[in-house]
Amino acid sequence: MNESQAGTRHSAQSSCSRASRCLIFGDASVAQKVLTKDANVTSLGQLGWGVAVTLGVLVSGGVSGGHINPAVTVAMAVWGKHPWVKVPVYVIAQYLGAFMASSMVYAVYLNALDAFEPERSLATAGIFATYPGAMTASNGTLVTDFLSNGNGMGDQVVGTMLLLICVCAITDPRNMEVPKALIPLFVGFTVLNIGVCFGFNCGYAINPARDLAPRFFTLIAGWGEQTFTAGTFDGIAWWWVPLVGPHIGAVMGVGIYLLLIELHHPEAQEFS
């Protein structure tokens, strides 16, 4: 095994453990929110995800550049900012890490889940994966299934697009010169903000690994098929929306940043 292979393996291990840690914090903060019946959509629970991302990037940013989201890794590869050869091992590590994190949160909150509901329902499935929400209309009617798959897809595309524009700006050395140690902080602020702004429709997955791997975990850990059939609208299931949407949005986000900002840096103008 040569050094490059060792480097990739190391990065994959790190990516996996990092994604785990990030998910552990994120899922756990939602668990605490669901189990306490905190009805406030815009709440400190979102701080959990924001700070979790900060800490996830912080812990192993030095080894593998802080990739914890397959949508980010693939989009960077599409635009030539990340080697394609490293993508598969990164992505597998991200899914494995998310799966491990789900099982650890499940273990820590096992007593509480059993006390909360003997039969597992979507309410607690939402601790792990995302589902389109219900809402109360202005006249007080409860509206379930208000979100069409098309609108949900738009939500995921826009959310991840904004995430990537911000991530590109934060890590662009020619923009605001963010020092290495502050990158995790600003990425965490970005995720916090997307949560505060786009959590309402369907819970801002904006990361395929963070959504699909925990969904598989809940499928086999007692929640059953509802984890994949819930949110079906006009005969089309929900689960693939937070898988496909973030990948589309991420590619768009990096492209927009390159087009609008990076090409306009003074250094780049020499070539215009």
DSSP readout, 171-218?
Answer: H-TTTT---GGGHHHHHHHHHHHHHHHHHHHH-----HHHHHHHHHHH
* Using rule CB under 8 A, residue 248 touches a second copy: no
Q: Which of 4-12, 81-89, 213-221, 222-230 is the region at the interface with a second copy (rule: CB under 8 A)?
A: 4-12
The site string for a second copy over 185-204 (x = CB under 8 A, - otherwise) reads -x--xx-xxx-xxxxxx---
State yes or no: residue 28 binds a second copy (CB under 8 A).
yes
State yes or no: residue 31 binds a second copy (CB under 8 A): yes
Give the span between the Cα atoms of 201 and 101, in whole angstroms: 24
Positive or negative, the Cα torsion across 57, 168, 193, 107?
Answer: negative
Q: How far is the CB of 130 from a second copy (least distance, A)?
A: 15
Site for a second copy in 124-143 (CB under 8 A): 135-139, 143
Residue 239's identity, in one-letter code, is W
Q: Residue 112 interacts with a second copy (CB under 8 A)?
A: yes
Backbone angles phi, psi at 81, to 5 degrees: -105, 5
Q: How far is the CB of 164 from a second copy (least distance, A)?
A: 11
In 3D space, the residue among 94, 128, 115 whose CA is nearest the CA of residue 221 turns out to be: 128
Cβ atoms of 105 and 28 within 8 Å: the answer is: yes
59 forms part of the interface with a second copy (CB under 8 A) = yes
Supply the Cα-derived Rg of the chain in whole angstroms.
19
Selected binder of a second copy within 8, 19, 52, 243 (CB under 8 A):
52
CA 227 – CA 207 distance, rounded (Å): 17
The smaller minimum CB distance to a second copy, of residues 137 and 235, is found at 137
Which CB atom, from 19 or from 251, has the smaller least distance to a second copy? 19
Rule CB under 8 A: say whether 176 interacts with a second copy: yes
Of these, 2, 5, 19, 32, which contacts a second copy (CB under 8 A)? 32
Please give the size of the binding site for a second copy, defined by CB under 8 A. 104
The answer to whether the beta carbons of residues 241 and 66 sit under 8 Å apart is no
Is 178 a binder of a second copy (CB under 8 A)?
yes
Q: Which one, of 20, 24, 22, 49, lies nearest residue 195 by Cα? A: 49
Q: Does 63 bind a second copy (CB under 8 A)?
A: yes
Least distance to a second copy, CB of residue 178, Å: 4
Is residue 37 near a second copy by the rule CB under 8 A?
yes
